[in-house]
Structure 1
Amino acid sequence: MTRRALLALPAAALLGSLLLAGCTADRAPGPTAPAPATTASSPDGGASPDAAAVRADGTPVASGTVTLSVLAPGGPPTATPAEDDAVLLAVAVPADDAAATLVTVATLAPPEGGTIDVLDDLSAVVRGADGAVLAGLTAPLLDHPAGRTVRVRTAEDGAVTWLAEGAAGSGAGGGTVTATFAATAVLDATWRDLADEGGRSLAVEPAAWARRGSLASEEAVWSALVAAEPEADAQNVRDQLTCHLIGAPDKATWNLEPWRPDVGLLETIAALCNPS
Structure 2
Amino acid sequence: MPHRPPPGTPAAALVVVVAAALAAGACSPRAEEPAPRTARDATTERPAPTRSREVPGDTRTPPAPPFIEAATWADSDYGVTLEVAPSTAGRGASGIDDSYAAWQEVLRLVPEADAPGMWEQFDCHWTWARLLEPDKPTWNVEPWRPVVSPERMLAEGCNPGGPEV
TM range (shorter): 0.5 to 0.7
Q: Which of the numbers 81, 87, 96 marks the counterpart of 1:215?
A: 96
Which protein has greater RCO, CA pairs closer than 8 Å, 6+ apart? 2
Map residues 134-145 of structure 1 onto 2, 5 A cutoff: 137-143=51-57
Q: Structure 1 216/179 Cα, relative in aligned 2: closer, same or farther at 3 Å?
A: farther
Q: Which has the higher helix share?
A: 2
Match of 1:190 among 61, 72, 81: 72
What is the CA–CA distance in structure 1 between the aligned matches of 2:106 and 2:80, rounded to whole Å? 15
- Cα contact 1:140–1:178 (8 A) shared by 2: no
Give, in angstroms, the shift of residue 244 of structure 1: 1.0
Cα root mean square deviation, aligned: 3.4
Q: Count matched residues.
A: 124
Describe the superposition over 1:80-107 as per-residue Cα deviations: whole angstroms up to 9, x where unpaired.
Answer: xxxxxxxxxxxxxxxxxxxxxxxxxxxx
- Is 2:111 the partner of 1:226? no
1:22 aligns to 2:11 (yes or no): yes
- Within-5 A mapping of 1:1-276: 21-22=10-11, 137-143=51-57, 177-194=59-76, 196=77, 198-212=78-92, 213-249=94-130, 250=134, 251-276=136-161
Counterpart residue identity of residue 201, structure 1: T
Higher strand share: 1
Percent of aligned pairs sharing the same letter:
30
- The answer to whether the 8 Å contact 2:71/2:85 transfers is yes
TM-score by length of 2: 0.62
- TM normalised by structure 1 equals 0.39
Gaps of 5+ in 2: 1-6, 15-28, 31-42
Point out the structure with max Rg over C-alpha: 1
